[in-house]
């Protein structure tokens, strides 16, 4: 073969070899799902021809969109979405993080203890955890305490996985129980309430969506355009290759788990601020929903593949399905069954796609 003898370098382009971005598939899936619910609204007899996203008749919000439902849809995925940004990085790295849900509970308890106000309607705070000194602290204090707590838990997760080489599933499963325990031990099970106004403003109104959007934006760039992102993909793709290339695998793993847990702690700050209270049971199932969002968004559980854009779209799919089921008046237990089916299908589809693309 003549042209193999001397190449022209890697400058020739073959447009058909350009791979179709997975994010587009998820985007189309999102549109298809919305259409399905719209069709269901028109066809199901008991729905009386309603529309899920559009509002042609009342025009309450001054647009033809049903803004109220859109807001609820985004709002209910935003906080778990923040967790899923970290989970995405951990899965791309080739790991898994089961501890994020209980970490939300524990971090919320700890954070709220430093965010309490002294007087509630002129009476002393009935839920006070600490003494005088912990009342009405500047808002940065609970935020920093929360992030530090998250970083500490993440460092233990990452340290165990990197240095003792136990499987991430086991390390974070243990941390799952430990965090749930911490959350209950912190106040012996009592809720912590009545934050300062400045803390309450962190998660009020549409603030959770702002946090989710902003953090997604930041981590999209970090994963795509920095050394950190490149090494995360490399380790998840081929850990031996990454090691032989001189990447400090252990240090990098700890860093990724620390960042993931700090994101879960951020979710805890936003959630406790939004709810104006912290309870030890908060964040139940969040770790699984966060993993589900990432998986629906095309993050491969074998590591090395996925993106923040995909996960954000996965969160949107998650939100649309959740409120869509409520909208077609499907009972909660059917919702869980359907959700499980969708998660399994997403992974099966991803595997088919993977097998067909690699010869």
Residues that bind another protein (CB under 8 A): 1, 3-14, 17-19, 222, 225-228, 230-231, 233-234, 236-238, 240-242, 244-247, 252, 255, 304-305, 357-358
Phi, psi of 294 (to 5 degrees): -65, -45
Closest CA to 185 of 111, 127, 110: 110
| Closest CB to another protein among residues 297, 319 | 297
Contact status, residue 69 vs residue 323, Cβ threshold 8 Å: yes
Closest CA to 93 of 206, 189, 233: 233
Q: How far is the CB of 234 from another protein (least distance, A)?
A: 4
Q: How far is the CB of 117 from another protein (least distance, A)?
A: 36
Strand partners of residue 238 = none
Report which secondary-structure segment, H or E, holds 34.
helix 22-43
Q: How far is the CB of 231 from another protein (least distance, A)?
A: 7
Q: How far is the CB of 238 from another protein (least distance, A)?
A: 5
Residue with tokens 């899920």: 52
| Closest CB to another protein among residues 201, 245 | 245
| Closest CB to another protein among residues 12, 59 | 12
Question: Helix or strand or coil: residue 123?
Answer: strand
Question: Helix or strand or coil: residue 120?
Answer: strand
Phi, psi of 64 (to 5 degrees): -80, -5
Phi, psi of 129 (to 5 degrees): -95, -50
Strand partners of residue 193 = 277
Q: How far is the CB of 82 from another protein (least distance, A)?
A: 19
Q: N- to C-terminal Cα distance for the chain?
A: 23
Q: How far is the CB of 242 from another protein (least distance, A)?
A: 7
| Closest CB to another protein among residues 49, 246 | 246
Distances (CA, A) of 121 to 117, 139, 179, 194, 256: 11, 20, 33, 10, 43
| Closest CB to another protein among residues 231, 274 | 231
| Closest CB to another protein among residues 63, 357 | 357
Q: How far is the CB of 178 from another protein (least distance, A)?
A: 27
Angle between helices 67-92 and 286-296 (to 10 degrees): 90
Q: How far is residue 353's CA from residue 359's CA, in Å, rounded to a whole number?
A: 11
| Closest CB to another protein among residues 255, 282 | 255
């Amino acid at each position: 073969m003549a042209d193999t003898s001397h190449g022209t370098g890697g400058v020739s382009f073959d447009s058909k070899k350009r791979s179709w971005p997975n994010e587009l598939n998820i985007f189309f899936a999102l549109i298809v799902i919305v259409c399905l619910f719209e069709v269901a609204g028109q066809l199901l007899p008991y729905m009386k021809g309603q529309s899920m996203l559009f509002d042609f008749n009342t025009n309450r919000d001054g647009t033809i969109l049903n803004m109220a439902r859109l807001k609820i849809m985004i709002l209910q995925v935003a906080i778990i979405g923040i967790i899923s940004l970290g989970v995405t990085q951990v899965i791309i790295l080739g790991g898994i993080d089961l501890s994020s849900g209980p970490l939300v509970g524990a971090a919320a308890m700890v954070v709220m203890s430093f965010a309490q106000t002294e007087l509630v309607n002129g009476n002393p705070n009935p839920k006070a955890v600490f003494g005088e000194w912990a009342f009405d602290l500047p808002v940065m204090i609970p935020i920093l305490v929360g992030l530090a707590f998250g970083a500490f838990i993440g460092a233990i997760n990452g340290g165990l996985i990197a240095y003792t080489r136990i499987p991430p599933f086991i390390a974070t499963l243990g941390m799952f129980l430990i965090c749930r325990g911490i959350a209950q031990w912190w106040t012996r099970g009592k809720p912590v309430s009545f934050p300062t106004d400045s803390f309450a403003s962190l998660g009020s109104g549409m603030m959770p969506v702002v946090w989710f959007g902003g953090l997604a934006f930041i981590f999209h760039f970090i994963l795509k355009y920095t050394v950190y992102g490149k090494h995360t993909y490399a380790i998840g793709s081929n850990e031996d290759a990454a090691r032989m290339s001189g990447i400090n695998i252990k240090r990098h793993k700890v860093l990724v788990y620390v960042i993931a847990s700090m994101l879960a702690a951020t979710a805890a700050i936003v959630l406790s601020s939004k709810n104006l209270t912290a309870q030890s049971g908060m964040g139940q199932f969040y770790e699984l929903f966060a993993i589900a969002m990432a998986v629906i968004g095309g993050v491969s559980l074998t590591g090395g593949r996925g993106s923040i854009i995909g996960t954000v779209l996965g969160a949107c799919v998650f939100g649309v399905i959740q409120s869509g089921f409520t909208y077609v008046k499907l009972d909660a237990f059917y919702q869980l069954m359907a959700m499980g089916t969708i998660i399994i299908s997403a992974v099966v589809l991803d595997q088919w796609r993977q097998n067909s693309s690699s010869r």
